[in-house]
Copies of this chain bind each other. A is one copy, B any other.
């Protein structure tokens, strides 16, 4: 069963046709010097993660598994901001931490696949997160992305005015990812709502930042309210990721491993071995998914 339905990416921005050359500034790639159709035309999957070293490792695993050259070149090197690797039909890029950094990457990747004429593209975010009531090392596949008000919206300001965008995820894709993870015995995987915060400390109700204006009671009331509403983890990108992918007409899923159970601790204190293993779990799930879709 191929669950990737036919959908072609069309940029929603008519200005792009009048641009002449488009310089994707942060990727360091330009339509004037790179033939996007021949270099990127076959892309079907885009894997993103916060950390450059983690996504580089995933790209290397993908290359090993598919018998491709593992001496990967960072195609975004000239931009000096992101890494970008291509392994067959899979692009891998880091997005840094937080929605502003992610939004830059997404705008430029959407333009990239637009110029390349890619069809049926699926975007994944592979992340680390703080779990709410789940054991560290659990994979949470996001069923719904919420902001810290626990609303399923991504807010930005255009011309200084607030714009709210819905963050609806792709339930079929999310369900399949949970199934793939559990059936392949990679780890325990669940479906859950995910909260996107704009900070690691104060916005996530941690008590151990440089500043703290809340009490322990405030913190637990907030986390428990979130848990009751079905939230299983906090991270810093999901609303932007699902909202912008939706707007671009590409399928999207957020697959995060939890490194801490916030109902027990604010600090991440897993052993170095567990930490190294946990970080690789989302990538293992995606590799298994790609195998099932004959894309490796």
Contact = CB atoms under 8 A, between A and B. Distances in A.
A207 interface: yes
A179 to B, nearest CB: 30
A236 interface: yes
B157 A149 contact: yes
Interface in A177-227: 197-203, 205, 207-214, 218, 222
Interface residues of A, number: 66
A247 B210 CA distance: 10
A107 interface: yes
Contact of A15 (B207, B222, B248): B207
Contacts of A269: 23
A175 interface: no
A236 B26 CA distance: 14
B104 A198 contact: no
A3 interface: no
A103 interface: yes
Contacts of A106: 210
A199 B156 contact: yes
A89 interface: no
Contacts of A163: 213
B96 A96 contact: yes
A98 interface: yes
A42 B107 CA distance: 42
A267 interface: yes
Contact of A208 (B22, B81, B213, B267): B22
A208 B156 contact: no
Given A103-B200, A199-B100, A205 B12 contact: no
A54 B81 contact: no
A49 to B, nearest CB: 11
A60 interface: no
B103 A199 contact: yes
Interface in A150-166: 150, 156-160, 163
Nearest to A212: B13
A273 to B, nearest CB: 14
Interface in A226-254: 236, 244, 247-248
B210 A12 contact: yes
A195 to B, nearest CB: 9
Interface of A: 11-16, 19, 22-23, 25-26, 50-51, 53-54, 80-81, 96-101, 103-104, 106-108, 110-111, 114, 147-150, 156-160, 163, 197-203, 205, 207-214, 218, 222, 236, 244, 247-248, 267-269
Can you list the 3 inter-chain pairs with the closest CB atoms, starting with the nearest?
Answer: A98-B100, A110-B210, A97-B101
Given A98-B99, A99-B198, 8 more contacts: A16-B208, A22-B208, A25-B268, A26-B200, A107-B200, A111-B210, A148-B157, A157-B198
